[in-house]
Amino acid sequence: MKRLGKIGLIADSHGNLPATIAAINCLKEEGADRIYHLGDLFDSALDNDFTTILEVICNNDVLSVKGNNDYQVEQALATGKPFNLAEADYSFLMAYLQNMPMKREIYDLCITHSLPYDNIRAFYEPIDDGGTLIAEKIFRDTNYFLICSGHSHHPVLFRWRSGRVNREDLSEKYLVHFFSTERYILIVGSVDRGECGLLNLDENLYKRLRVFND
């Protein structure tokens, strides 16, 4: 992997502003050079404080990808649901949602909400169903060294080694070491449940972080 510094990863905040702020602060304290949100900033079933959430994301230069809940909020706004927003706030939110990419690519690293494809199905289908079949298909369909995903709220690592895929729960006690002879899918876990992580691309390490306990 290229030398790209430290990347902070947040996923699935579902409108939980205190958890999002806590994760951003935690990752900055850990030395993150950049922070990415892996989708579901909002919860489509709730009347979130959209404007404040977006201000926190923008003011902290957090880069995001679109999650299924973000897509559903966008569709609701497009069909006339106001979410009690002032006109200026509506324009701010709609412009942001319309410009959220479905994935971001950094050399051989892909940052996405769930499946690393450019279609609506990719929002909704979880990689982690308790087995390895979906992960195995993704490894065969793509050439990414590392895919970072959200959507499935439990922190999990899928490891491709010598043509076989293993599913591994991520421990808070141990760093994950990435090896050039392997490939990986990393599911960060939900910040709404206190999860985030730090990806050190200079040393090929990942550290699972907890911003609060359940």
| Alpha helices in the chain, H assignment, sequence order | 17-29, 50-59, 68-78, 87-99, 121-124, 133-141
Extents of the domains making up the chain: 6-210
Q: Is a pLDDT exceeding 60 seen at residue 214?
A: no
pTM here? Answer: 0.94
Q: Which amino acid is at 169?
A: D
pLDDT-derived band of residue 1, with 50, 70 and 90 as boundaries?
A: very low
Tens of pLDDT, residue by residue over 89-129, are 889 999 999 999 999 998 899 999 999 998 888 989 999 99
Paired residues of 209 in beta bridges? 196
- What class does CATH assign to 6-210? alpha beta
Give the DSSP letter of residue 127: S
DSSP 149-185: E-SS-S-EEEEEETTEEEEEEPPSSSPEEP-TT-EEE
Average pLDDT, the chain: 92
Q: Is a pLDDT exceeding 90 seen at residue 23?
A: yes
